[in-house]
Structure 1
Amino acid sequence: MRHIQLPKLPSFAEWNSKFRTKGALLAPRGTLANVNLAEKALKQLNIQRPQDVTAIELYPGLGAWTAGMANAGFKHIFTLENNPKYAKWMGDRAKESNGVIELLKKDGYDWETYLELKKPEYLGKFADNDWSRVHPNLLFTGTLPKSSKGEQLLAQFATCINNRMAMHSIGRIQMAFWMPEQLYQKFTAPPGSTARCKMSIIMEACADVESIYVAEPDDMFPHTPYHLVNAIPFEQKKITAQWDVFEYVLKHLFVMQRQPLSKMIKTLAPGAEILLGRLSFDPSVEVGYMSVEQLDEVAVKFDQWPLRPKVLFEFDF
């Protein structure tokens, strides 16, 4: 089996100096800093036939996770890095990989990136609309930033699974992302948790989510615990309401999670309390404790109501 040998990774102090953007006050974007840990985590991920799998990796940083995948025998790795200093580092690693690692100087945050990835020279040939199985040849992975950008990106991925957009327009693709502790808590928050939010609700509705490995602070730059979270999209999503209606209901109800639905339903529209008698569950439940199925039922009943607002969202152009 081939072995990608990374050069000696910089110390924390060297990394903080070498990869910091000139004039920046904050430390460089977070990155996995231990190849041995990456290889252990990959074993827990239990990828079947890695020699047939192409990975799409966001924000590789120092490339420890990239090297781990290459050493596990992955067929090909498209690694997306638009930070100039990290991109220079990863470009050198790509040259040493005998074609296994391919650097794309793109940002996984930009919608255009996913349109580009669907071209035949990248992922176009892998398109598979059969959602009865998990795509056998693709893995969507990476290390999410600790900033608000990381949370926004993950929330977009959740929506994309539900609506089969971006990466998930190609097929039912397994995701495995390293994410900081705070983002992990939001991503997996169950009913009743104070961290419960739109993102955790949508993920509960469309994927089986599990933390399979935890990196200790010393294994990450900067030093902070990160979870490797595996997400397998369901064949059938739990949300049956129209997407814009479901979004509208979430936006209004979750303004005050600790209030009962019987009170908050009035925020949907004047007279919306008439829907309470049409629900199959007790409307005294606090909004934050509602299951996906209950939220979906509210959205469906709201959509069926003849007096609901016809325009749910107003946009400024």
Structure 2
Amino acid sequence: MAFRAASLARSLTGQFSRTHRHLPLRAFSRSSIIHDNLVSDAVQTGEASPPKKRTRTKKIKVEEVKPIDDAAAGVVQTGDQNEVTPPQEESPTKAAAAPIDDLVAQAVQIDNHLAEKPIAPGRGRKKVEPEEIEEGTVELPPLSEWSRYFPSSFAVKTRASIMNQEHAKKVAEAFVPAGSKGKVIVEAFPGPGVLTRALLNLPKSRIKKIIVLEDEERYLSYLRPLEAFDPRVTVLPLSGFLWDTYEEISVKGLLSDITKEDWSIEHPRLQFISHIPSKVHGEQLVSQFFRSIPDQQWFFKFGRVPFSLIMTESLWERVSAPLGGSARCKLSVIAEATSHFDYAIDPSCLKPYKQNFHPAHMPSPPEFVAINVMPLLEQWIEKGLLDEWDYCLRRLFVQKAQPLKKCIPQLAPGALSVLNKIADTNLPLEERVARRQAPRKMTPREWRNLVNAFVEWPFKPADLSIDFNMITTKQSNRLE
């Protein structure tokens, strides 16, 4: 409609000079249109001579003039002096031009993008600050208002939390199923706490205590009231990404009633639950969980503690990548060598993203899955050999599709002798690794055979944090 109005204005008005036609509409301002009107009036009254016909187009300098009201009052600048004329009655022709002048001004305003843009639905609404939330509020705000109560920010831009209450109930039931008794749950990255509330709504005999780890103030406003509502809840304003947070849990004595169980049994009481942030930080965190199992660090100092995660589908594909798959990586091998894992619920229950997770308008939102993880009874990675596994995996996955006979030199100069030892046909089949085997097709058993031979090799690098063909030292990211 604005385009039609602008076209009509350009076709009807005769006030633009020939020079103006060679300039884009964007060059015109309201003052230039007024100036043309003044010149036209002066010509009609004989106070100025009509402009001569020009053969060449020259640039016009647009000067500021007084408003049209002053010109109507009789002040017209001609030459070097101001001549005051008595006010005259507005002619019918000039009065008729006023609506056209308005249309022209409107067209210029639209073309110069001066008109206000309409506010999209949901935008422009006032954000709710944490201090504005009514103290002791246990109920979450309506989903339609979540963008106001929990606006996106840099601190949580890679975090998604489940908001579909019905599906959160299914996840809670799958994480802490029937038969569980007196569980102590440590929950990290809960967001506003939809899953936390679903866990609390399970039969009370299943869960004795929930320790919630969250450092985002907007989320804490809806988590802290749960402490007063249910004595089983303890909320700590700490990040689940920091190792010091888990030390703080022990210092506060929140796990004083947890006993260390023999590795031969699944720990019946302690369990870890978390939403995993997307992007690289989430993968680093999951990697640390699996890497803590062989040496029984972190919560695994209490025994074979199960943990349940909500992670992106792409991260799950890397964790669970099969032998020979294109997604097979170092994380895949460590996970398979330390744990058994599977879907907690049908992954279709958590799709699509916008109907199940907050923030609903995340750009290029990933899909999420819920999984349960249990450490293996028999670990493929022996205690104290995690650094050797790290080194061999890191070096050989550089050429993960190549046969070992071609990529084994990546370990160190002369490492072909390591392969000769484990490829000996006189060895039992379970202790042998084929020369043609590619790193991405190797089983945990074959990786164990290779790493053990590397450990016994007298010429292995003394410092595994230094690559033999690199000058700089690579610092280990492992959290001790």
Tell me, yes or no, whether TM beats 0.5: yes
Partner residue in 1 for 2:43: none
Matches within 5 A, 1:11-160: 11=143, 14-20=145-151, 24=154, 27=157, 29-45=159-175, 47-72=177-202, 73=204, 74-97=207-230, 99-119=231-251, 121-160=253-292
Higher mean alpha-carbon deviation, 206-215 vs 234-243, is at 234-243
Q: Deviations over 1:34-73 (max 9, x none)?
A: 2221222233345354441110000010211111111113
Cα separation, partners in 2 of 1:229 and 1:313, compared to 1, 3 Å: same
Q: Deviations over 1:106-147 (max 9, x none)?
A: 111111112122236211331314111111111110111113
Cα separation, partners in 2 of 1:292 and 1:59, compared to 1, 3 Å: same
Matched, 1:303 2:452: no
SS at match of 2:315: helix
Cα separation, partners in 2 of 1:201 and 1:16, compared to 1, 3 Å: farther
Residue from 399, 415, 418 that aligns with 1:256: 399
Residue from 266, 271, 275 that aligns with 2:409: 266
Alignment RMSD (CA, Å): 2.2
Higher mean alpha-carbon deviation, 100-109 vs 46-55, is at 46-55
Cα separation, partners in 2 of 1:190 and 1:20, compared to 1, 3 Å: same
The one-letter code of the counterpart of 1:229 is I
Cα separation, partners in 2 of 1:124 and 1:8, compared to 1, 3 Å: closer
- Cα drift, residue 274 of structure 1: 1.2
Matches within 5 A, 1:140-289: 140-213=272-345, 214=347, 215-216=350-351, 217=353, 218-223=355-360, 224-240=366-382, 242-279=385-422, 280-289=432-441
Contact 1:94-1:100 within 8 A present in 2 as well: yes
The one-letter code of the counterpart of 1:287 is P
d(CA) in 1 for partners of 2:411, 2:158: 43
The one-letter code of the counterpart of 1:248 is Y
Q: Deviations over 1:11-37 (max 9, x none)?
A: 36x333432356x49747211102221
Gaps of 5+ in 1: none
d(CA) in 1 for partners of 2:434, 2:313: 34
The one-letter code of the counterpart of 2:174 is Q
SS at match of 2:290: helix
Higher mean alpha-carbon deviation, 24-33 vs 54-63, is at 24-33
Higher mean alpha-carbon deviation, 72-81 vs 218-227, is at 218-227
Cα separation, partners in 2 of 1:264 and 1:37, compared to 1, 3 Å: same
d(CA) in 1 for partners of 2:295, 2:141: 40
d(CA) in 1 for partners of 2:169, 2:438: 43
d(CA) in 2 for partners of 1:229, 1:28: 19
Larger Rg, first or second structure (1 or 2): 2
Cα separation, partners in 2 of 1:125 and 1:84, compared to 1, 3 Å: same
d(CA) in 1 for partners of 2:414, 2:463: 16
Contact 1:117-1:124 within 8 A present in 2 as well: no
The one-letter code of the counterpart of 2:227 is A
SS at match of 1:210: strand
Q: TM-score, normalised by structure 2?
A: 0.61
- Cα drift, residue 6 of structure 1: 5.7
SS at match of 2:341: strand
The one-letter code of the counterpart of 1:35 is Q
SS at match of 2:310: strand
Q: Deviations over 1:196-217 (max 9, x none)?
A: 2222211101111001222122
Q: Deviations over 1:163-190 (max 9, x none)?
A: 2111212221111111111111111112
Contact 2:169-2:199 within 8 A present in 1 as well: yes
Runs of 4+ in 1 over 6 A off after TM superposition: none
Q: Percent identity?
A: 27
Q: TM-score, normalised by structure 1?
A: 0.90
Q: Deviations over 1:282-308 (max 9, x none)?
A: 121111111111112111101111111
The one-letter code of the counterpart of 1:263 is K
d(CA) in 2 for partners of 1:62, 1:248: 40
Contact 1:128-1:170 within 8 A present in 2 as well: yes
